[in-house]
Amino acid sequence: MAAVILGSLAAPDDPGLDELLGDAGARALRAALAARARRWAAEVAPGRAVEATTLDAARAALHGHDGPVLLAAPDVPALDRRLARTALDDLAAGCDIALGAAHDARPYILAVSRPDPELLALVERSLDGGILGAFTERGITLGMLRHERRLASAADARALAIDPLAPADLAALVRRRLHEPPRR
């Protein structure tokens, strides 16, 4: 199995996060999220964890790999071993792809049984919307993974700051940098 932290799965940078946390705070948060995602990939795919900005770069990095692949966004704090297992279980049960959508309706994780160029091209063309319709049109079977929240906007940061189940390191970083108390 391989795991790819894929920059193109991330939400666009939100200037509201920079305004809320300050430039240095937002940079620190994005760096902490990326580091967390890299650790997750290394944990679930020892020796086959890579980081790529685009699907083309991921395909190049996966050249010669013929097993399952997890593609994950770097801006989701809740990547964990259980999520990887569930995605792989969906593939083992016969799904062509397993997908987890974030609160913005864009995928934050995709699992495929192998890096099939046609399937990855379809995914890439559909990332900004219409991915489910594209899968349905082609008869692709889909396993749905749990919904997660990104940490990409000021609203996401405020929500994380008051979430008792949020990763403690990220919550502490956000709480230290907030210019105003979280709204309840």
Render pLDDT for 131-181 as a digit per residue (tens, 0 to 9): 777 888 888 999 999 999 999 999 999 999 999 999 999 999 999 988 544
Q: Quick one: tokens of 123?
A: 């995914």
**CB burial of residue 43 (10 Å; 0-12, 13-18, 19+):** middle
Where do the domains of the chain lie?
2-177
**CA dist., res. 177 & res. 180, Å (int):** 9
Q: Which CATH architecture has domain 2-177?
A: Alpha-Beta Complex (3.90)
Residue 183's pLDDT band (cuts 50, 70, 90) = very low
**CA dist., res. 153 & res. 12, Å (int):** 9
Distance of CA 5 to the CA centre of its chain: 7
Q: Quick one: tokens of 100?
A: 């987890």
Mean pLDDT of the region 32-59: 96
Q: What is the pTM of this model?
A: 0.91
Helix 168-177 vs helix 154-162: crossing angle, to nearest 10:
120
Taken in order 81, 90, 121, 45, the sign of the CA dihedral is positive
